[in-house]
Structure 1
Amino acid sequence: MAIHFVYNGLGNFLNVLRDQKLCAEQAGSDLLVFSKVEHDFLRRHEAMIEREKIRILEYAPDKQQLILKMPIRAIFVAQGVTFRYLTQQMMKIGMKDDDWMLLNGGDFKLENGCTVEPDLALYPMAGKKRQSLFPHIVFEIGISQSVEELRSRADDYIRYSKGKINAVICLYAPQNQSYISWVVYKAFRQPDQDQAFESVIWGRGLITFYKDDHSGQYGLPATITTTGPIIIPIGKVPPGTPDELELIEEGLVEITEKFILRRWRG
């Protein structure tokens, strides 16, 4: 789970950050939570944040809380594999490079004042390659987070972007377990409430791996259980361009196979 600290000035903060960078991989704790963080932390320390290559999961000034994501290899592996898979899918349905932008950790500000940085964010491009205010699809890869925390985060993305973030795809990969589950949360609006968006579960599945106790390695997927193919709308695109992205079982197997095997083989 996340490790919690109280912010005691920039010097102490940097010492804690550097100490945790060394042990994050071994401990498997990818989140650091600092409470009592100064209201304008990001503005005052922008240069330091860039220099230290800090991954900000969320900064909520009203709560005086800063959540950092540590550079665990599994996160980067999952990002890279997911990035390649989505790129292939979008090319397959006829989208061009200037129709979309897929960012590793692109940050944006929700309408509740929180600055957030998801693991992957897919932006539809408006006009002359202009980036939208919010991404259309967000990916979150949970290692130390609980399922409830991922659900709450997905709901915040959708609720506080007023549905502009159309879908949140959560990959849940807890430590020391031989499976990954995935859930897609879709934007939903009650008919009588124009701007009151919330998240609903749109699709989910489970991919299971068996462990070979003799070799210490993990084999290929043994069983797959899903609700079937998931069709994800990717926003408005030029006329005649397909506006759906199919996230199929085969692709999820590819993503999770590489994620699991690379992490456990070190």
Structure 2
Amino acid sequence: MSAYEFRQVDVFTNEPLLGNPVAVVHGADGLTDEQMAAFARWTNLSETTFLLTPTDPAADYRLRIFTVSGELPFAGHPTLGSAHAWLEAGGKPKGASLVQECGVGLVELRSDDRIAFAAPELRRGGEVDEDTLGAIANGLQIERGDIKDARWCDNGPGWVGVMLADAEAVLAVTPDHAALGSHKVGLVGRYPEGSECAVEVRAYFPADGVAFEDPVTGSLNAALGQWLAGSQLPEAYVASQGTAMRRKGRVHVERVGDQVWVGGDTLTTIHGTVEV
């Protein structure tokens, strides 16, 4: 049994306990896949990450991301939270920006007022077939006509982005989690012009075949930004997420040319060691 430095970081908030937590284990090269998976199940958070020595010389560190049921090639809030933990522990980027190595390859991050990651390229985009939309509407317990627009937003987790009439409609959804099954659904609806946030976002993610709601979701907001920023929404906007769960997530999305950046405030809530 060995001791590893550990941080639990609250992401997409500047107030403790109102964002989305991620568990981060530092210097985890000595852990096996089985130990990582077991620790992720034990934390019972949506994601647990492990900071490792990079295999690509262009990267500052390598990151592995686990849910309670398996490993993800990429996820947004774990990327921001892990970068925060790495920097707070004294990490120094090799270049002008921070570079993370993970399952989708190299992900660039910047850390100005807040940490932001460059949205990875979509693995799948475009229109969603009617059978899938019908199944999603059934799982959300809404009418098919309530879905105003939809796109595949798969940058690793496999999201389907679903636009409803407005933020109020998004907050009113009461899904049948079992009926959603394996669908990974991101809801988005606009707030009135002049509001603090441009949109309300909700995310449903399956675990062991049953969907649950994720408090604040970086990967989904990245893909939604690739779809909406500069077209249906301004090139820079703030998304609210977590309202229905009594959280106060704020996701800062910005399109710069062809690149979408997704950022948020981060803060450490637990710091210590873990023995595995």
- TM-score for the superposition, normalised by structure 2: 0.28
Q: Which structure has the bigger radius of gyration? A: 1
- TM-score for the superposition, normalised by structure 1: 0.29
- Structure 1 or 2: larger helix share? 1
Which structure has the higher relative contact order (CA within 8 Å, separation 6+)? 2
